[in-house]
Amino acid sequence: MGGSPGERLLIAIRAGDAAACEALLASGASPETRDGCGQAPLHLAAHFGQEEICRMLLRFGADPGAPDRDGRSPLLYAAGQGHMAICSLLLRRSSAGFGVSFAKR
């Protein structure tokens, strides 16, 4: 695989290759790299329904509320494809950013 670590990470996500994603992230690929459409790795993983990769990206510091260049969050990508488990994961990880509180009152 050629290109920068970030480009290789985006390719691995598009391929659904969790092992390659983990290796790239562990070796320093940024979970906040962007493609030509302003999509971060978490946008792509959410769109393709890759829950394991979404969890991994969050563990490596991906911002669950980061917008793409059109202002869409990874949550919107997941919801648009009907990936409810990923929607739930993203909401739990970014509740402060969405004005939602899961704290008991």
Q: For the chain, give the secondary structure using H, E and C.
A: CCCCHHHHHHHHHHHCCHHHHHHHHHCCCCCCCCCCCCCCHHHHHHHCCCHHHHHHHHHCCCCCCCCCCCCCCHHHHHHHCCCHHHHHHHHHHCCCCCCCCCCCC
Q: Which residue has the higher pLDDT, 47 or 105?
A: 47
How high is the pLDDT of residue 94?
Answer: 77
- Report if residue 101 sits inside a domain: no
- Report if residue 103 sits inside a domain: no
Q: What average pLDDT score do residues 21-49 get?
A: 96
Number of domains within the chain: 1
- Report if residue 49 sits inside a domain: yes
Q: What average pLDDT score do residues 36-65 get?
A: 96
Query: Which residue range(s) make up the domain with 54?
Result: 5-93
| Each residue's pLDDT tens digit, 51-95 | 999 999 999 999 999 999 999 999 999 999 999 999 999 999 875
Compute the mean pLDDT over every residue in the chain, rounded to the nearest whole number. 90
- Report if residue 88 sits inside a domain: yes
pTM, entire model: 0.87
- Report if residue 104 sits inside a domain: no
CATH number of the domain within which 39 lies: 1.25.40.20
